[in-house]
Structure 1
Amino acid sequence: MAEKTSELETALAEAASPSWSRRVRAGRGLASFVDVPEAAEALAGLLLDAEDTAVTRQTAEALARVGTVAAVRLVARAVAEADDNHADWLQTGVRDAVAGPDSVPDLEAVCGQLVRDPEEAVRRGAAEISAWADDAQG
C-alpha cells in the first residue's frame, strides 16, 4: 500500500512539473488512480495542458486504455471544453488507444453509459469519443 501511495504522490508532483516529459509521465501514472479525487483533478488539467499537446495526447490515451466510466468521463469533459487544437490531440490519443496493437476496453459501451450522464458536457464529449472509437476501429 505504501508503494501505491508513493507512486501517486510522485505522479501528482510530476503533474505540476515545468517539464512536458514529466507531465506526460504523470498523465500515464495518474490514469490508474482516476478514482482518487486529487488524481482526477490533476488529470483534468493534464488533458487540457496549456504548454504541450503531447501531454494532452498521452493522457487521453492512458485514460482511454483504463477505459472505466470515471476515466472516460474525464476525457469526455475535456473534449467538451477543448479548443480545436486540444480536441484534435484528445482525438489522436483516443484513437491511439483504440487502434493500437494492445486491446483496450470497449470505449463505445462506456460512452453509451456516459451519454445518459446528468452533465450535458459529458454527454456531448462521450458522443464525440464514441464516434472517434468507431472510426478508429474500422
Structure 2
Amino acid sequence: MPRGWEAVLAAASSPSWSQRIRAGRELASFAGVPEAAEALVALLLDAGDTAVTRQTAEALARVGTVAAVRLIALAVAEADDHQADWLQTGVHDALTRPDGVLDVAAVCGQLARGPEEAVRRGAAEVSAWADDTRR
C-alpha cells in the first residue's frame, strides 16, 4: 500500500467535499484493491456533492483499467437518474480530454461478458456513453 494510505481512505469519508474529491483522484489508480474499491464506489455514489461523483468518475475513466471501469459500471447500476447524469459527465470529461484517448468502450465490452449482472448492465450504459462521445 502507498504511504499515507490510511489518510487517503479517511479523506474518502470526510465531511469536506474537496477532501473526498482528492481521495477519489488518489484512490483511482488502486481500483483493484478491495479497500480502495469500496471507498471509490461510495465516492461515485456520493450523496453530499455531485462534484465528488463527477471527479471520481473522471479519475477512474482516465485510469481506464478493467478494475476502474468496473467500479463505474457498478455505480451506474446502483445510481439514481441524477447520480447517473453526473457519472456520465465525469466519464465524458475523461474521454474528451486532449491528453489521451481512452478505449473505455473496449473495457466495457470485456465487462459485458463477465459474471456479475449489475456490472454487465452498468458496462452497457457506460459503453453507450463512450460511443456518444466518439460521435
Q: Distance in 2 between matches of 1:15 and 1:104?
A: 28
Q: Distance in 2 between matches of 1:18 and 1:68?
A: 29
- 1:102 maps to which residue? 99
Aligned residues between the structures: 135
Q: Distance in 1 between matches of 2:98 and 2:6?
A: 30
Q: Distance in 1 between matches of 2:99 and 2:93?
A: 10
Question: Normalized against structure 2, the TM-score is what?
Answer: 0.96
- 1:39 maps to which residue? 36
Of 119, 122, 125, 1:122 maps to 119
* Stretch moving more, 96-105 or 65-74: 96-105
- 1:28 maps to which residue? 25
Of 117, 128, 131, 1:131 maps to 128
Asked if the contact 1:64–1:107 (Cα under 8 Å) also holds between the matched residues in 2, the reply is yes
- 1:5 maps to which residue? 3
Q: Distance in 1 between matches of 2:79 and 2:131?
A: 21
Q: Distance in 2 between matches of 1:80 and 1:117?
A: 14
Report the RMSD for the aligned CA atoms in angstroms. 1.1
- 1:18 maps to which residue? 15
Relative to its length, the structure with more helix (as a share) is: 1
Q: Distance in 1 between matches of 2:72 and 2:84?
A: 10
Deviation at 1:104, TM superposition (A): 4.0
1:80 aligns with 2:87: no
* Runs of 4+ that moved beyond 3 A: none
Structure 1, unaligned runs of 5 or more? none
Q: Summarize deviations over 1:31-63 as a string: whole Å, max 9, x none.
A: 011121111100010000010011000000000
Q: What secondary structure sits across from 2:3 in the alignment?
A: helix
Question: Normalized against structure 1, the TM-score is what?
Answer: 0.94
Q: Summarize deviations over 1:15-35 as a string: whole Å, max 9, x none.
A: 010000110000000001112
Structure 2, unaligned runs of 5 or more? none
Deviation at 1:10, TM superposition (A): 2.3
Which amino acid in structure 2 is aligned with residue 121 of structure 1? A
